[in-house]
Structure 1
Amino acid sequence: MKLDANALQTRRIVLGVTGGIAAYKSAILVRRLKDFGFDVRVVMTHGAQAFITPLTFQALSGNPVHTELLDPTAESGMGHIELARWADLLLVAPASCDTIAKFANGLADDLLSTIYLATKAPVWLAPAMNQQMWAVKSTQRNLTTLVQDGIHVVMPEAGEQACGDVGLGRLAEPEIIATWVNDFFAQAEREIWEKFGLLAGHHVVITAGPTRESIDPVRYISNHSTGKMGYAIATACYAAGADVTLISGPVSLPTPNGVRRINVQSAREMLTHSMQLVEQGCDVFIATAAVADYRVAQVAEHKIKKAGDELNVSLVKNPDIVATIAQQKKRPFMVGFAAETQNIEEYAKAKLQAKRLDMIACNDVSRSDIGFASDENAMTVFFAEQYQMDKEELEKASKLDIGKQLVEAIAKALNKHVPVS
């Protein structure tokens, strides 16, 4: 079963939690799904509530938890129909032996099983049970039926179980399940975007995150960049059909699906890899990294010991990566970023011209609701004069949505771009 275009925008998951000790892992799964930007609503069976409370899932998901088939608060008392229609994907984790049997045989005696029968969304199951219950022929027969029906099964892992047995039956780790679900959405989005060919056939290089400039073996100069915007743009570029290479400073983010990632620390290291990729051939260079303007002139060989009330450190200017790339004889389409706290338009246009960029996206990092560390952003995009394009205002939205809008702006400008040779 495939996702439709609307599902890629709303990213709504109904998470079914069934009875079993592995239900505690579902709380972690909710957190991981939320980290990927999914809107999660939890449905619990009566057995699940014996292991973990609905209040836990309500706090983690930010949505009410659903437990009863006959819900007087639901429209027309048909909560199962509302949730079935709402879901872009139904994920059951853990999926008990009993629930798998119900699904395989069309039984509908609780809320979760009726949602399964009523939804048109793709269904994923992550089984968890005793190793013998997993191995028994009836369970395997039911799983075969569900796979033939188009259900995706996240296979359980082997190991020691709560009952003391050892074998297959442990719930897959929440991080693995969440990553696979996110990749499923990412691949579906790529298939849809490729039909429009926005960046198909283009090699895009993106720099993201902060750089770290060492003072001594334990200290460094850096900034507040988390890399979220650059990673969101990498995700959007891949979805648009591009071949994407991400040069990343030190961040705590998973590599986007389908993207090649090169990890760096310093500005000079980031420049070295950028130059290599440009020389090898890239069509678009997007510089979202918050590169340190200065580095320590002489890095101490050993940790500097505390002595006195002051420490004087001599700084020298770092190379300007985006300007260096833009000055190359054969350069790609250049996209710069400007994070400013005042005179946004004035500084952005000056940077656009001074660094010979084709396009620049600027945001106001003095705002507390967007920018560094936030999951949302808002930007103004300016283009070089030769493109004869008006500036574009990208209103506050998730960074992934902003990334998609930037890809569309890049694609429009690329249609007018004359490569420098």
Structure 2
Amino acid sequence: MDTSLKNKKVLITAGPTREYIDPVRFISNESSGKMGYAIAEALHQMGADVILVSGPVFITSTFPKDRIKNVLTGKEMYLECKKYFDSIDIAVFCAAVADYAPKVTSNIKIKKIESETILELQKNIDIAFEFGIVKKIKQKSIGFALETNNIHENAINKLEKKNFDLVVLNSPNKNEGFGYNTNKITIIDADLSVHVFPIKEKKEVALDIINFIEKTYQEALPENHNLANSSVSFPLQF
């Protein structure tokens, strides 16, 4: 496949994080990592130089194992990603990093003593936000958002706050997001145009997202790419 993304250095995050309360208990979410891995596999096949920073997942993947950096916590994911901030061309923040982590982590299993307990949380580091602060003009970043209310407003706030070039809205509905092989997405670009896609296999969704990444990275797509056939586009209105 002829693509302008060949040899481009791409950082992708995928999967959930685990924020440990003690050695056997943690806070996490239902992210399977399938979307991030699908994007990584497709970009690798196109000849991009991809680094995949992955939380704990259970995926059989064709992506080269030596290009996967396995982490557990949000802090570990940030420290691994930070190593590549200066050298990458594109960052795709697909991981579902826990928003909060326990303020205190026990080194031993916490015993069940009282009928009630209080777990104090602190805000986790926001990897995409940190990259947005140091991002160079030629670097591009893509974020993901799963929203259940005020969908477009929240997505645009995230796009602006984190200095994204694109934000991909995931659907929280059954068969359309976490844990499933299919996904239904909407992409909002820097011009605040909205591009709505039908439900598709995640491997197909990955190609739709990559087309937009390529479009963002250069002024025009090659002639053999035709976004008009795969999405419905309209200006954002409130």
Q: Is TM > 0.5 for Structure 1 vs Structure 2?
A: yes
- Aligned counterpart, 1:352: 159
Structure 1 CA distance, aligned partners of 2:148 and 2:15?
A: 19
Does residue 241 (structure 1) correspond to residue 47 (structure 2)? The answer is yes
- Aligned counterpart, 1:212: 18
Structure 1 CA distance, aligned partners of 2:136 and 2:154?
A: 26
- One-letter amino acid matched to 1:207: T
- Aligned counterpart, 1:339: 146
Q: Tell whether the 8 Å contact from 1:342 to 1:364 is kept in structure 2 after alignment.
A: no
Structure 1 CA distance, aligned partners of 2:62 and 2:150?
A: 33
Does residue 302 (structure 1) correspond to residue 127 (structure 2)? The answer is no
Structure 1 CA distance, aligned partners of 2:8 and 2:116?
A: 51
- One-letter amino acid matched to 2:117: L
Q: Which of these residues, 123, 132, 139, is aligned with residue 326 of structure 1?
A: 132
Q: Tell whether the 8 Å contact from 1:381 to 1:391 is kept in structure 2 after alignment.
A: yes
2:185 aligned counterpart, secondary structure: strand
Does residue 415 (structure 1) correspond to residue 209 (structure 2)? The answer is no
CA shift at 1:340, angstroms?
1.2
Structure 2 CA distance, aligned partners of 1:288 and 1:305?
A: 35
Deviation readout 1:35-85 (Å, 9 max, x if unpaired): xxxxxxxxxxxxxxxxxxxxxxxxxxxxxxxxxxxxxxxxxxxxxxxxxxx
Does residue 403 (structure 1) correspond to residue 209 (structure 2)? The answer is no
Structure 1 CA distance, aligned partners of 2:141 and 2:165?
A: 5
Does residue 231 (structure 1) correspond to residue 37 (structure 2)? The answer is yes
Q: Tell whether the 8 Å contact from 2:40 to 2:63 is kept in structure 1 after alignment.
A: no
Give me the TM-score of the superposition, normalised by structure 1: 0.50
Deviation readout 1:104-160 (Å, 9 max, x if unpaired): xxxxxxxxxxxxxxxxxxxxxxxxxxxxxxxxxxxxxxxxxxxxxxxxxxxxxxxxx
- One-letter amino acid matched to 2:125: P
- Aligned counterpart, 2:59: 253
Q: 1:415 and 1:276, CA in 2 relative to 1: closer, same or farther beyond 3 A? A: same
Q: Which of these residues, 83, 87, 95, is aligned with residue 289 of structure 1?
A: 95
1:238 aligned counterpart, secondary structure: helix
CA shift at 1:201, angstroms?
1.9
2:96 aligned counterpart, secondary structure: coil
1:273 aligned counterpart, secondary structure: helix
Runs of 4+ deviating beyond 6 Å: none
Which is higher, the Rg of structure 1 or of structure 2? 1
Does residue 380 (structure 1) correspond to residue 183 (structure 2)? The answer is no
Structure richer in helix, relative to its length? 1
Give me the TM-score of the superposition, normalised by structure 2: 0.87
Q: Tell whether the 8 Å contact from 2:183 to 2:199 is kept in structure 1 after alignment.
A: yes
Deviation readout 1:216-244 (Å, 9 max, x if unpaired): 01111100101011111111111222111
Higher relative contact order (CA 8 A, sep 6+): 2
Structure 2 CA distance, aligned partners of 1:415 and 1:234?
A: 20
- Aligned counterpart, 2:75: 268
- One-letter amino acid matched to 2:96: A
Gaps of 5+ in 2: 221-238
Structure 1 CA distance, aligned partners of 2:59 and 2:193?
A: 34
CA shift at 1:305, angstroms?
0.3
Structure 2 CA distance, aligned partners of 1:329 and 1:199?
A: 18
Structure 1 CA distance, aligned partners of 2:193 and 2:136?
A: 26
Q: 1:413 and 1:330, CA in 2 relative to 1: closer, same or farther beyond 3 A? A: closer
CA shift at 1:356, angstroms?
1.1
Q: Tell whether the 8 Å contact from 2:171 to 2:183 is kept in structure 1 after alignment.
A: no
Number of aligned residue pairs: 218
Q: Tell whether the 8 Å contact from 1:255 to 1:261 is kept in structure 2 after alignment.
A: no
2:57 aligned counterpart, secondary structure: coil
1:272 aligned counterpart, secondary structure: helix
- Pairwise mapping of residues 127-206 of structure 1 onto structure 2 (< 5 A)? 193=1, 196-206=2-12
1:274 aligned counterpart, secondary structure: helix
Q: Tell whether the 8 Å contact from 1:228 to 1:375 is kept in structure 2 after alignment.
A: yes
Q: 1:329 and 1:374, CA in 2 relative to 1: closer, same or farther beyond 3 A? A: closer
Gaps of 5+ in 1: 1-192
- Pairwise mapping of residues 33-52 of structure 1 onto structure 2 (< 5 A)? none
